[in-house]
Structure 1
């Protein structure tokens, strides 16, 4: 656990570096967008902006939609083992692609999202830092060998995301920050890393990178180590 937490702390620190790089080289960053698709940007601009002044019924409907999607994600976890947050994301994408939610319901969901983004994120980070983090074990893990391994691992993830994203035509800085989330501690780690990188809009991609990408990395690493050790 201390190594995992130290890796998450390193990822939070490193996540701020691509953001500063994006300020110096604006063409390398999408400011929360992974794909530089001009057509999508024009379509987004042409859509009417949410007023943010939804009534109580609209907000409650948006919250109930989020709960329903999470329950479907839990059902998917029981049936096929897919992590509930990832299943929830897939269901949300399906609803959006099929136009299964009315504009009023989407506006309520947007208000709920903005509320949690602005009012719940920082209390969660504070609670994790004060009540959950085992600081004594974390300090005990501060050795030169551990730091070298952790920093090199997280840096390799970020660098791989940057260069692969650049190679395939995506915004490399945003891809690097999403790749960095593979070193975080689940959903709470994603919140901390994306907050450090000022990329909270990338939370859906970060969840997939953490739940699926992290599991793939661990599985492949264990297979490689098993072959070398045997």
Structure 2
């Protein structure tokens, strides 16, 4: 568990460092191009094996089938539709592309983290949005935990 926490902290530090370097132009455009090519190579060649591996390793068919109920389906449908419509409307007013905004800000915020980001973006054929999806997952996930912890006090 401590190792996982260290990896998460390192990932956040790395993302912040890259953003700062990009803002101040500290990285040579040649190396930015190299990084973009490497990302495209990895996204193109490792997405399908990654999804298969995750699906085989982490999915218990018995648990999936046992969890299906009318309430579950309504909750999932409401969450997905709400995430899509809400972020599309806000994204439109901000000036984002509606589809890409809905995918990264809405669906990637409401999925199950990095694994869900890969699944959502590969299904939408938008793997180039992975950096934005990662930011959305981290910020959106933290926001959802905070909001849920506040709302649960009113439900009791």
Give the match for residue 4 of structure 1: none
Report deviation, 1:152: 0.6
State TM-score, norm by structure 2: 0.86
1:225 to 143, 152, 155: 152
Query: Could you say if the C-alpha distance between residues 169 and 107 of structure 1 is closer, same or farther in structure 2, counting changes exceeding 3 Å?
Result: closer
Query: 2:46 matched to which residue of 1?
Result: 120
Runs of 4+ in 1 over 4 A off after TM superposition: none
Return the match for 1:110 from 20, 36, 41: 36
Residue 121 of structure 1: how far off its partner (Å): 1.2
1:195 corresponds to:
122
2:21 corresponds to: 95
Task: Name the SS of the counterpart of 2:15 in structure 1.
Answer: helix
Q: CA deviation at 1:83?
A: 4.4
> Is this contact kept in 1: 2:109–2:137, CA < 8 A?
yes
Taking structure 1 as the reference length, what is the TM-score of the superposition? Answer: 0.60
Match of 1:85 in 2: 11
Query: Offset of 1:111 from its aligned partner?
Result: 2.7
- Matched ranges for 1:31-46 at <5 A: none
For the Cα contact (< 8 Å) 2:110–2:140, is it kept in 1? no
RMSD: 2.0
Query: Comparing both chains, which one has the higher relative contact order based on Cα–Cα distances under 8 Å and sequence gaps of 6 or more?
Result: 1
* Contact 1:159–1:176 (8 Å) recurs in 2: yes
Task: Tell me how many residue pairs correspond in the alignment.
Answer: 151
Query: Following the alignment from structure 1 to structure 2, what is the Cα–Cα distance between the partners of residues 84 and 159?
Result: 33
Q: Which is higher, the Rg of structure 1 or of structure 2?
A: 1
Q: Using the alignment, how far apart are the partners of 1:228 and 1:132 within structure 2?
A: 32
Contact 2:51 2:119 in 1 (8 A): yes
